Structure 1
Amino acid sequence: MRVAPRRTDRLETMSLSKSGPANGPRGLVAAAAVADVVLILVFAAIGRDAHARDGIITGVFLTAWPFLAGAAAGWLATSAWRNPMSLRRAGTGAWLGSLIGGMLLRALTGQTVVVPFIVVALLSLGVLLMGYRALYRIIRRRRG
């Protein structure tokens, strides 16, 4: 009887070791978290630039914080750290968490929430937060 080889690209089956390499499970979790933060900041910066808003640094953080908080909630809700490059779990959690949480927090704090902005955020955050994960998967598959 032949046993199928175990998939090693699934982080859910790997333990988080304290002395693992930088590109090991811990490093991948940190890299994905940083990538999500940076891409949400890029989203906010592009939006502010498109609307010619002042306050380059503080303005970007003012715009981004609800989306960052929403993405963090998405990570927690989906336990994204178990497989941070998963499209289904981590990608969807970060994407929809940042979108839904971001819009709710914007509404609660008196910031603008209009349908066109929701649509732009849905598409932009989806491309950014799901896109790099999809590219990662494609590259991993091609490398074998």
Structure 2
Amino acid sequence: MAYWLFKTEPDTFGIDDLAARSNQTEPWDGVRNYQARNFLRDQVKADDKVFIYHSSCKQVGIAGVARVVREGYPDETQFDPESPYFDPKSSREQPRWYRVDVKFEQKFPAILSLQSIKAMPQITELGLVKKGHRLSIMPVSESEWQVLLNKAV
């Protein structure tokens, strides 16, 4: 099992949206960064744990946990001309973008803020705390996962 952090904008889709669908899975789609795509396509596996991170909002930080229930497969939004994620250069024979399915596991009592994450001396390798790191999907080491999880709950 591996650990990940997936960024999302809660006004589009956040932990509460995922929790509302807790009896089913949700596709994590719309990722349009090649490095993040490569993680989804090649490295994110079923049963991996995911921190759901709210960005571009008033309370930026980790909101809860999900679990990957389906490994990378082509993101259908790339083929839909009506979708904001449509990619005319992509084809079903050679898809450019991938997604995984996730399932809600836990919402934290409060957002674990970016400010408090940056203040933790044990958190040094997470891309979130490194200057210039803007990926929407990033790996989290097991030790840093445990530190963050223990602080959040």
Range class of TM-score, shorter chain: under 0.3
Return the structure number with greater strand share.
2
With normalisation by structure 1, the TM-score equals: 0.25
Return the structure number with greater helix share.
1
With normalisation by structure 2, the TM-score equals: 0.24
* Higher RCO (CA 8 Å, separation ≥ 6 residues): 2
